[in-house]
Structure 1
Amino acid sequence: MLFKIFLLLTIVPIVEIFILFKIAEATTVWTTIVLVITTGFVGAYLAKREGLAIFTSIKIELREGRVPGNQLLNGLCVLIGGILLITPGLLTDITGFTLVLPATRQFYIRFIRKWLSDMIHMGSINIFFRR
């Protein structure tokens, strides 16, 4: 697991830098900088807006006595998407936008649910509650 994280944290930035250089070659350096800054601002705005909406939904579900499972997964996706959107790079921005936007976020939620279900069925996740 640690090796996969190491690869992710080294290969993704290298690919991002390569793509940014290619965009700068095809356009200008300033266009690339404006693109990175613009996606960062738009992404931060979307993440904030979606995060506040999810937070409100969680409060309503809790007030009604329901466990907000689906909204917590939505919140997790928006949090990860927001982090990716403020990270400079085109691939991370695209992934971040798909995590923040409600229509595409559902794909990730289905994937996370299946992954968690598989982990629980294989016995890889053990949750103990203490009082």
Structure 2
Amino acid sequence: MSQIEVEIIIGGRSFEVACQEGEQQFLQSAAALLDAEAQVLVDQIGRIPEPRMLLMAGLMLADKTAGLEEKLREVEGQMRVLKAQVEELKNAPAPEPEKVEVAVIPNDVIDALAEIAARTEALAETVDEKLNV
């Protein structure tokens, strides 16, 4: 692959940087991150010497990167714990099935309740007839 020159802008200043063909997008993305940090410095301090601006912007970006790497290590640690728990659950024996008892009403009771209901309805009809007379 051949090298090509790419213009990047950091802190309002233009730089010509060489990169491999096909890597321009990566270079532009990295330059945009550095430019964002440099712009903070320019907004806060004003015009500062180029080497100092690049150094400070690089350090600010490195600080953010270090913070993200620390968070990533924490998340990786949590993931290891969760994976271990999943494996533990996979390897654990299946729980014993619960015994569920369903109440069964004996046929004699069902027949007795049906008889009581029929008598109650007959009694209600008799009362209705006597009241309507």
Q: Same fold (TM over 0.5)?
A: no
Larger radius of gyration: 2
| Higher relative contact order, chain-length normalized (CA < 8 Å, sep 6+) | 1
How does the TM-score come out when normalised to structure 2?
0.31
Larger strand share, 1 or 2: 2
How does the TM-score come out when normalised to structure 1?
0.31
Larger helix share, 1 or 2: 1
